[in-house]
Structure 1
Amino acid sequence: MTKAKPKASTSTSCAIGDPRFKALDMAMKRYQHNPDALIEVLHKAQESFGYLEADVLTHVARGLQLPLSRVYGVATFYHLFTLKPSGVHTCVVCLGTACHVKGSSKLVAALEAELGIQMGETTVDGQVSLLAARCLGACGIAPAMVIDGAVSGKQTPKDAVDKVRVLKF
């Protein structure tokens, strides 16, 4: 017996008339509401909305017939997804085992002090978001960080601070 797939998701009242939700519905339809397309659908959602707010996650969960906990788990596992509006620039520090052993906690401390924010926050001016990743897959160049998509390895706290200072001005 085959499980019936929904034709369209009507999960939230904010979806009515919002072209971003319509684009998201089209993406889910393109993937035939297949739960295995969760990551692709989340990418489309973040592209459309800028970040993955609660209503969007609920909409995706209902549209793909998945538990909200699974959608949330995937959205919080991958560093490319964010649940909060991001700054103009993003600085992602790897906290994986190799990076941790090589001093990523010192990078985090230096960056938090320089930016005046904690990990997971965005500066008051909206310029820089400081984020953590469980692993960037750059273990050979630990400690690693990614600024606006560019990976930098073998970072010292001074290197990291110098890189974000450039972003602030």
Structure 2
Amino acid sequence: LDALLFVLGITSMKMLRADRITELVNHEAEDETARVSLTLKDDKRQEFEISRSIDRQGKSVCRLQQKRCGLNEIASFLNEVGIKPTGYNIVVQGDITRIIQMSPKERRGIIDEAAGIKEFDEKREEALRELEKVDGKIKEVRIVLNEREQFLKELDEDRKAASRHIEASKE
């Protein structure tokens, strides 16, 4: 489980059950590097490989499809395929006890997060905030438009009065 969390980009030492990242390397082994590779298949049977290695000095190297990348790129990829290493796709030691001790509302939050509802709700809230901003701007534009229409009516009345005056002065 620790190896899986490591390759998925977890950096929390608590989740990896280590005090320091260098503790993940077996110091008694000849190889000075710890490596983990994970191959995922999508519904079209296309394979995606994620790998991560770390040396005894703590230098970490990540790869996605054999190309070197950063942890943020792995996180973006995993997010696209619906895997959240820090979410509830993976239940680490102690989580079950913690979940049992939660209130029903807190457990509902976990279920919403695991089902993707929490992310949907966050996007919905953001969309509603944007909609409120747009509504506010529309109201401002309508106020300005009404002011301009009133000004145009006054100008049109002035133009008509000026035209009548010019016609009257010609006679």
Bin of the TM-score, shorter chain as denominator length: under 0.3
Q: What TM-score results when the alignment is normalised by the length of structure 2?
A: 0.25
Structure in which a larger fraction of residues adopt strand: 2
Larger Rg: 2
Q: What TM-score results when the alignment is normalised by the length of structure 1?
A: 0.25
Structure in which a larger fraction of residues adopt helix: 2
Q: Choose between structure 1 and 2 for higher RCO, CA contacts under 8 A separated by at least 6 residues.
A: 1
